[in-house]
């Protein structure tokens, strides 16, 4: 469905077709902010008439337990498709994941602001604008889950995560490191307050250009979930810049993890 606007300039006219989603911007200005999802994904609850508010609501109702793409409403009248993950008590919205190395995370800024990858394929980034929208909807608890090539799993939790709007270059606000629910030291404190950078929209010290993946660099970073996927763990960085999927306080800069995901939940 489209709205057609006609602007008259002298004797000529310019006809612009604009999708009706522009009206949603007006709704957003009233405070009803919703995330945008991966519309091309087949949701596991696509044939369910129930309206689930979020991943936590799906878990509590008890009908679904399998991680994957789901339709949720997130305080909106229209559903969106997101990736939900579940544990015993909490449903989480996964905002990025590297699992198979099928998707390059060396992407330009415009891709990081929107989204890329495949929810069902296992490797994806939901988009900075979506992260901002979701945090505005109360998704402010971050859990970082990592696996090494010996299949050990470690988790780190933060009780506050949010990103600014586009004008701030999606500046990161992260805090409330939860030592009681974390297996590793806090390696993300160094990124707090930093704008997002990519190779084509670089940071001051060119970390994004040298390390490849987009991130909240601060000359440069102690953790890089968006790094290059190196099978096997230890790797030799090109041009002496460590660019793997690393967490400094677990195996160091020169070890690229097998699996990593970032997921948000509500309190």
263 pLDDT higher than 50: yes
Residue 97 lies in a domain: yes
Residue 27 lies in a domain: no
E strands, the chain, in order: 2-9, 12-19, 68-72, 80-86, 91-98, 116-118, 123-125, 141-147, 153-163, 172-177, 259-265
Residue 158 lies in a domain: yes
pLDDT band at 172 (very low <50, low <70, confident <90, very high): very high
Domain boundaries, position 47: 33-265
The Cα–Cα gap between 34 and 131 comes to 10
Residue 140 lies in a domain: yes
User: Which pair of tokens denotes residue 33?
Assistant: 């902010």
* Tens-digit pLDDT profile for residues 3-30: 333 333 343 333 334 333 333 333 333 3
Distances (CA, A) of 232 to 96, 125, 138, 149, 212: 21, 23, 37, 6, 20
* Tens-digit pLDDT profile for residues 110-166: 999 988 998 888 899 989 988 898 888 888 999 999 999 999 999 999 999 999 999
User: Which pair of tokens denotes residue 200?
Assistant: 């084509």
Residue 20 lies in a domain: no
Residue 21 lies in a domain: no
Residues in the chain: 267
Residue 4 lies in a domain: no
Q: What is the pLDDT of residue 72?
A: 86
Please state the domain count of the chain: 1
The Cα–Cα gap between 18 and 215 comes to 33
- Contacts of residue 23, Cβ cutoff 8 Å, sequence gap at least 6: none
Residue 197 lies in a domain: yes
CATH number at residue 60: 3.90.215.10
Whole-model pTM: value is 0.81
SS3 160: strand
* Tens-digit pLDDT profile for residues 59-109: 999 889 899 999 888 767 777 788 999 888 888 899 999 999 999 999 999
Distances (CA, A) of 170 to 112, 156, 157, 215: 10, 22, 21, 10
Q: DSSP code of 150?
A: T
> At which residue do the structure tokens 């949720």 appear?
72
């Amino acid at each position: 469905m489209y709205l057609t606007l006609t602007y008259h300039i002298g004797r000529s006219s310019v006809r612009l077709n604009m999708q009706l989603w522009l009206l949603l911007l007006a709704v957003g200005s009233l405070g009803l902010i919703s995330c945008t999802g991966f519309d091309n994904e087949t949701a596991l609850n696509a044939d369910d008439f129930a309206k689930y508010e979020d991943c936590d609501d799906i878990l509590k109702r008890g009908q679904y337990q399998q991680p994957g793409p789901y339709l949720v409403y997130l305080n909106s009248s229209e559903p969106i498709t997101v990736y939900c993950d579940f544990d015993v008590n909490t449903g989480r919205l996964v905002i990025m994941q590297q699992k198979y190395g099928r998707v390059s995370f060396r992407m330009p800024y415009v891709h990081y602001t929107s989204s890329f990858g495949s929810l069902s394929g296992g490797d994806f980034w939901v988009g900075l604008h979506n992260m901002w929208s979701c945090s505005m909807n109360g998704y402010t608890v971050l859990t970082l889950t990592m696996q090494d090539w010996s299949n050990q799993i470690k988790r780190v939790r933060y009780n506050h995560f949010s990103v600014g709007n586009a004008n701030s270059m999606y500046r990161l606000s992260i805090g409330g490191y939860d030592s009681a629910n974390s297996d590793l030291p806090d390696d993300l404190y160094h990124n707090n307050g930093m704008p997002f950078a990519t190779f084509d929209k670089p940071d001051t010290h060119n970390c994004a250009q040298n390390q490849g993946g987009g991130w909240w660099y601060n000359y440069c970073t102690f953790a890089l979930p968006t790094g290059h996927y190196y099978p096997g763990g230890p790797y030799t960085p090109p041009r002496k810049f460590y660019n793997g999927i690393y967490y400094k306080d677990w195996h160091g800069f020169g070890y690229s993890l097998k699996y990593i995901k970032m997921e948000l939940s509500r309190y």
